[in-house]
Amino acid sequence: MDNNKLTSEIFSILENNFLFGYNQNPSPENRNSGTGKVRILSIDGGGATDGTLAAKSILHLETIIRRISGDPNAHISDYFDVVAGSGIGGVIAALLFTKGENGKPLFTAGETVKFVAENGAKLCRSDKSGVFRRVFRVPAKVFDRTFKELTLKDTLKTVLIPCYDLNTGAPFVFSRADAVEMDACDFKLSSVCNATTTTGRPINITSVDQRTRIVAVSGVVAMNNPTAAAITHVLYNKQQFPFCNGVEDLLVVSLGNGEPSNLTAGNGTPTRTALVKIVGEAVSDTVDQAVSMAFGQSRKSGYVRIQGNKGLFNVKDEKKYANMSVQADDMLKQHNVESVLFHGKKCNSTNLEKLEFFAREIFKESERRKTSTIPIVLLNQTTTSSSARTSSATTLSTISSS
């Protein structure tokens, strides 16, 4: 009943934003408190570049931050408070925000680009029959080698990675906040990555304590663009984000992976895989437009969407764009497309210029916190409690205990 009430309240807020526009004179309790902004990184599932565009966008962000901070060892996880990723985006999130040796992230942005280049295409394709089916099981072994026994509790910041649970017929969001408060919500990261990327047969996933079992289908099916879920988590999690009252208190970077191309079979009919991609990208665009509308006047300084648009360049050399790295580089050079629900799309500065601007805004927030006595984020520490959750706001997660 509590979840239903919360869902009703969320949709009521969204409906008001859609119908009546942005509230230019927010109530005192919703005004920016001046304590700072929560920084959110959201990463889509596979698109035209199978994760390469998002990975390269993150590398560009990290490179700019290292340059302006003067710290050659700065990591992207140092400058974001929350990361949400779906499909290959979930894998990228796990690589960048999981604790490795000496407390540093498991992967740098550069290493993540290499990982995606080697594995992204396998992770984003649909299941095949016969001998090819065995080929697409290889990534599971890659995840086991990469993450070993690491679990959600070993992540550095708030991490949200969705899949779709066939047991409950609803999205399931793997969440660090859930894991540290309830052992039944802690999963091995190799299992989490398997769950969010599986595009063939459903995968049975069990929590570390064996109490929670789900039958997982790809996070791309559940929510290809997890930005709205991340924002909801922050706004309703007052224990971790006590001073975040509205979008004015957020800095959000949402990364797409390029609009998919070649969606039809030889007879011009979309394949089943193509239909899944079409639905995923359509939902991603809707989420982008809705979030942009909700930010209103704050969207230019508080929200950015980086997404390659196949309609903005003429692909004259198909062989050139068979290389996803080249395609991603060209997408970063495209003019950024700003979408606002009911107001269409418009082009402005390039994706690279947008990333440069937001990298500086993110760094400014980091510098501001050095002189502030009020913490903007209160990250929960690992516990072994099996009691009910108290601070997590992962409202789409549904626990199905055996």
| Digit-coded pLDDT (tens) for 237-277 | 988 999 998 999 999 999 998 876 655 555 567 666 667 66
Across-strand partners of 98? 155
Least confident of 133-137, 196-200, 283-287: 133-137
Sign, CA dihedral 180-184-186-192, equals negative
pLDDT at 401 over 80: no
CA atoms within 13 A on the CB side of 164: 16
On whether the CB atoms of residues 57 and 254 are closer than 8 A, the answer is no
Q: What is the tens place of the pLDDT at every residue in 351-393? A: 999 999 999 999 999 999 998 888 889 887 765 444 445 545 4
Q: Name the catalytic one among 86, 207, 292, 298.
A: 86
* pLDDT of 33 over the 70 cut: no
In terms of pTM, does the model score above 0.85?
no
With the C-alpha atoms ordered 119, 352, 251, 4, is the resulting torsion angle positive or negative? negative
In DSSP terms, 306 is beta-bridged to: 255
More confident residue, 81 or 344: 81
* 86 catalytically annotated: yes
* CA distances in angstroms from 402 to 97, 142, 247, listed in the order given: 30, 28, 38
Q: Which tokens go with 65?
A: 């931050």
Quick one: tokens of 194? 């398997």
Could you tell me the two tokens for 227?
Answer: 């930005």
* 3-class DSSP assignment, residue 213: strand
Helix or strand holding residue 164 (H, E): strand 158-165
| C-alpha distances in Å from residue 36, one per residue of 237, 321, 372, 394 | 16, 41, 9, 23
